[in-house]
Amino acid sequence: MNKEPLLKVEKLSVTFFTPRGTVIAVREASFEVSRGEVLGIVGESGCGKSTAAFAVMGYLPTTAEIGGSISFEGRDISTLSKKDLRELRGNRIAMVYQDPTTSLNPSMKIGPQVQEVISEHLNLDQTDIDKKVVELFESVGLADADQVGNRYPHELSGGMQQRVMIAMALACDPDLLIMDEPTTGLDVTTEATILDLVASLKKRVNAGILYVTHNLGVMARVADRVAVMYAGQTVEQSNVNDLFASPKHPYTSGLLSCVPKPPGAGEVSSRLKRIPGFVYSSQESDVSSCLFAERCPLADSECTTSAPALEFIGQDSQVRCFHSDKVEPDTWGAAEERISRKDVVSPIVLTGTGITHEYGKRQKKYMAFGPEMDLPVRALNKIDFEIPQGKTLGIVGESGSGKSTLARAVVGLVKAKDGSLQLHGNELDKTVENRSNENKSAIQMVFQNPTASLNPKLKIKKTLIRSLMRFSKLTKQGSEERAAALMEEVGLDLSYLERLPSELSGGEQQRVAIAGAFATNPEIVVADEAVSALDVSVQAQVLGLLEDRQQELGNSYLFITHDLGVVRYVSDDIMVVYAGHIAEYGPSEAVLSSPSHPYTEALLSAAPIPDPSAKPNPLRLEGAVPTMREEFTGCFFASRCPRKLGSVCDTEAPPVQKISTNEPHVINCHIPVDDLAKIQA
Amino acid sequence: MGLDRHPVERYAVWIKNAVRGDLGMAARGGATINSMVKSRLPNSALLAVVAFLIAVPTSLFAGVLAGTRPDTKLDRILSIGSLLAISIPEFIIGVILMMVFATKLGWFPSSSILLPGESILGSPKILVLPTLTITGALFAYILRMARANVIEVMESNYVRTAILKGLSMRRVVFKHVLPNAMIPTITVIANNVGWMFGGIIVVEFVFAYPGIGSLLIMAIDTRDMRLLQSTALVIAAIYAFANLAADLLYGLLNPRVRVGQ
């Protein structure tokens, strides 16, 4: 094949001059997209993926300095006039963005928002345009396609909004479609339906697709070829199967080995590998060495004195490394075996019984009279759980399923309406204010967003010493020593004690937050999406850290996440929650294998698998978790259940069924276990 | 007047009558307060409406102009000019205008004395200087609001979407920026109708303009408690209605606030 690629980006560099210094967002990005293929760009945050994508659209601030070339069908984007650029945008090159909610005009109906692209670029009369909009809405799988155009963006769910964005991008049959993290921030179930749509587009439209994501599972699902970016450089480019099977760059290999494997792979037998350190800073302008050298296990003197170039190592693959021939499965260390805790019986630390919570108050329409308005939201409904000592209970579910409310009820940040919590058999007060100091220090929490949960005005030392002096009854001197010890335990340099949170990266901040949680020698640490906002390499570091702490101190975790790979990796037991109800509860391995509750099944089939040869399970859930307000009699999952039996699901609450006789594994479902096993086989 | 009765009782009686639309008699002159308010209110309304009609469109236009070209020369001039205009109180602007256009140039009258039976519309010249004074501060205030909102919306993701749809800048501004930037701006304007009435009182006094504001001042001068109560009530009512209108307008403009069918 000797045809000119649709898009050819060569040695692209983008530099921003900001008041706070020069930021080199892209250093040397080179990639090509041909018609009919999906090129995935993958890398951690700060690697310049999105900047490169916006550069292709010719959309960068006027202060940006751009080097190299971007040629679209042989024309250099940077030399185009404003008018020519306008003719390309939305017409020949269209883009889908990360956050559909803010990317749609909130005060305009979605129909006209799609229409205006068509009327801008195509010469059609109004009736044809109207017809085309309906067709577009149908083609992206929006229900009620001829009416949906009359709705405003806020009346649609996140998944539907993203479908509208995709319809808008497809409106003029573009030659190149750029998708910048289109499923990031959406629930796994919604993500799966959007990925299905992208996969079908690949067959249907004769366009090249540039797909930017940090998620290797998503990449494996949609891409034909993959370009890996690190610190603004393309470090490896290859077709998707080769890249996942035998990565040639140590960074790619590291990324692949630090992602927790998805469910279905049996018991977790080895620990996650970790890439040490952090992404090469974009403020650094020195490029006389390999930028990955300081984190690379293969680095030698050659790597620190000269910079490798992107070179072909096969017909279709390029790599930027002196030692690509030495990259092997063991590059990042031999598999570290993990001691199985499966058969260890340990005493129960924390028991929750019948925890129920509602948000909002009952209100009447006219003060004290009239019909009831805005019934309270039933966030949790009779949740029972047990956490054994030294073990981890994982909680999974989509957003809105009540995971975080449960975490907050356990630490006492929300006062549960009903139910009881017992620590070693002693009743805990529902609110944190009324708990004794010992009980407060026994249950600690790590939040999702470390930037927002650390006091920005307080040095790290102060943050740690405060809780040490309060809970450990140490002197100032003693707590300073302990703070230093904590920093060492979470793998941070002691100089960090004198810094403010804003001087730390997200991963470092989360380490500080973990150090703070462990300052009180807690028995239970509640981790609410503690690794969700972190890059995969940092996520692996933090997961490893949490694991080390548990092995040394024997504490338990209540681990909340939406990522099934992560939950499989950390948990001994898993609770699957939906709309405030327990769908399934049991030992981790058993929950993640069939037979399982239809909701667990749907979550499992939606989870993207970082293996391009994996066959996607077609079971999908549409829509979002309903907000439970009214009293209802049937099954909590009936409205979305893909395996609904019939009217019994609408009228009767599901029975608790034991899956096996020798394990405490239950599901709340009407379908007999044997039947489930047959359907899911 | 019932001066022999307890002040609280007198107040209760006044309220009872005021609710029925009867504000009672003024202390001097033998006229009913109703008739005084009736003859003065249209004059004030005229002043406010004319000032509004001039200030709102021009300041919105200037604000959008500045907001779509932040940090250009035009934007700087408009921003600094508006800051100046906001910091000078109305009575000083009024006096300066009076000195220049009435005393020095003699183009417009400095005070708005009307002969009995004469209407403002009969001699529109007297409207010019009071209107200009009110317009000045209002113009600056709205301009700053519009500019800030336009700049904020210009940086939003949906405007990025609109630009990358390949739309012309004109269409981006008119279809995507303005409707969203105007929602908060218009609400602020409507909320300021009440605030503007405070300015009107001062301006009417400076120009001896026969409106509700100078009636209020007159009531203070003559220690006419009942007249003072009544004019304050009228002004407060206007203020409340303006704010109600602002809230309704916001709901009308913003689809997210609108109640579902």
**What confidence tens digit (pLDDT) does each residue in A287-345 have?**
888 999 888 888 888 898 888 988 888 888 899 999 888 888 788 887 777 777 777 88
Q: Is B259's pLDDT higher than 60?
A: no
pLDDT at B261: 37
> Does A88 contact B at CB distance below 8 Å?
yes
> Does A62 contact B at CB distance below 8 Å?
no
Instruction: Give the DSSP H/E element, type plus range, for residue B77.
Output: helix B73-87
In-domain check, residue A504: yes
Burial of A222 (0-12, 13-18, 19+ CB in 10 A): buried
Whether residues A516 and A367 share a domain: the answer is yes
Whether residues A405 and A493 share a domain: the answer is yes
Report the C-alpha gap between A316 and A308 in whole angstroms: 19
**Greater confidence, B30 or A17?**
A17
Report the C-alpha gap between B163 and A82 in whole angstroms: 11
Domain-ending residue, one of A171, A190, A206: A171
Which residue among A94, A102, A120 places its CB closest to the CB of B157?
A102
Q: H helices of A314-436, where?
A: 403-411
In-domain check, residue A340: no
Whether residues A84 and A133 share a domain: the answer is no
How crowded is residue B225: how many other Cβ atoms within 10 Å of its Cβ? Answer: 15
> Does A105 contact B at CB distance below 8 Å?
yes
Q: CB-based contacts of A278: which residues, under 8 Å, 6+ apart?
A: A505, A507, A508, A538
Whether residues A31 and A148 share a domain: the answer is no
Whether residues A184 and A163 share a domain: the answer is no
Strand ranges inside A199-308, DSSP E: 208-213, 225-230, 233-239
Pair A298, A327: CB distance under 8 Å: yes
pLDDT at A600: 92
Report the C-alpha gap between A534 and A454 in whole angstroms: 16
Q: Is B47's pLDDT higher than 90?
A: no
Q: Which residues of B touch A (CB under 8 A)?
A: 156-158, 160-168, 171, 175-176, 179-180, 183, 253-256
Report the C-alpha gap between A344 and A391 in whole angstroms: 10
Q: Test B166 with A89 for CB contact under 8 angstroms.
A: yes
Pick the closest to residue B216 from B207, B21, B225, B45 (CA basis): B225
Q: Test B164 with A107 for CB contact under 8 angstroms.
A: no
Q: Cα–chain-centroid distance for residue A346?
A: 32
Pair A450, A529: CB distance under 8 Å: no
Whether residues A227 and A368 share a domain: the answer is no
End-to-end CA distance of chain B: 53
The C-alpha of B189 sits at a distance from chain A's nearest C-alpha, in angstroms, of 20
Burial of A250 (0-12, 13-18, 19+ CB in 10 A): buried
Pair A390, A571: CB distance under 8 Å: no
Domain-ending residue, one of A576, A597, A616: A576
Cα within 13 Å of Cα(B14), Cβ side: 23
The C-alpha of A58 sits at a distance from chain B's nearest C-alpha, in angstroms, of 9
**Greater confidence, A386 or B49?**
A386
> Does A173 contact B at CB distance below 8 Å?
no
In-domain check, residue A342: no
Whether residues A150 and A165 share a domain: the answer is yes
In-domain check, residue A338: no
Pick the closest to residue B253 from B191, B189, B179 (CA basis): B179
Range of the domain at A593: 584-680
Whether residues A177 and A156 share a domain: the answer is no
Instruction: Write out chain A residues lying below 8 Å of B160, CB-based.
Output: 59, 97, 103
Pick the closest to residue A240 from A257, A221, A259, A224 (CA basis): A224
pLDDT band at B153 (very low <50, low <70, confident <90, very high): very high
Instruction: Write out chain A residues lying below 8 Å of B180, CB-based.
Output: 105-107
pLDDT at A233: 92
In-domain check, residue A449: yes
> Does A91 contact B at CB distance below 8 Å?
yes
- 3-state SS, residue A82: helix
What is the full DSSP assignment across B135-187?
HHHHHHHHHHHHHHHHHHHHTSHHHHHHHHTT--HHHIIIIIIHHHHHHHHHH
Pair B33, B26: CB distance under 8 Å: yes
Average pLDDT over residues B155-163: 93
Report the C-alpha gap between A316 and A312 in whole angstroms: 7
In-domain check, residue A331: no
In-domain check, residue A334: no
Instruction: Give the DSSP H/E element, type plus range, for residue B38.
Output: helix B33-68
The C-alpha of A124 sits at a distance from chain B's nearest C-alpha, in angstroms, of 16
- Give the pairing type, strands A524-528 and A556-560: parallel
pLDDT at B258: 62
Domain count, chain A: 4
In-domain check, residue A75: yes
> Does A380 contact B at CB distance below 8 Å?
no
Report the C-alpha gap between A260 and A564 in whole angstroms: 9
Whether residues A123 and A254 share a domain: the answer is no
Q: Cα–chain-centroid distance for residue A328?
A: 28
Strand ranges inside A143-184, DSSP E: 176-180
Which residue among A95, A106, A116 places its CB closest to the CB of B256?
A106
Whether residues A116 and A195 share a domain: the answer is no
In the numeric block, the tokens 């305009």 are attached to A108
Residue of A105, A154, A170 to mutate when probing chain B, most B C-beta within 10 A: A105
Whether residues A132 and A77 share a domain: the answer is no
Which residues face A228 on adjacent strands?
A42, A236
Instruction: Write out chain A residues lying below 8 Å of B158, CB-based.
Output: 102-106
The ranges assigned to domains in chain B are: 7-253
Count of pairs with CB atoms under 8 A, one residue in A, one in B: 74
Whether residues A389 and A523 share a domain: the answer is yes
* Tokens, residue A55: 């550069």
Q: Is B260's pLDDT higher than 60?
A: no
Q: Test A90 with B168 for CB contact under 8 angstroms.
A: no
What one-character DSSP code corresponds to residue A337? B
Q: Test A103 with B160 for CB contact under 8 angstroms.
A: yes
Pair B183, A105: CB distance under 8 Å: no
- Give the pairing type, strands A65-72 and A75-76: antiparallel
Q: What counts of helices (H) and strands (E) characterise chain B?
A: 10, 0
Pick the closest to residue A134 from A126, A120, A123, A144 (CA basis): A144
pLDDT < 70 regions, chain A: 1-3, 263-267, 365, 367-368
Tens digits of per-residue pLDDT, B31-41? 888 888 888 88
Kindly report the CATH number that applies to the domain delimited by B7-253. 1.10.3720.10
pLDDT at B117: 64
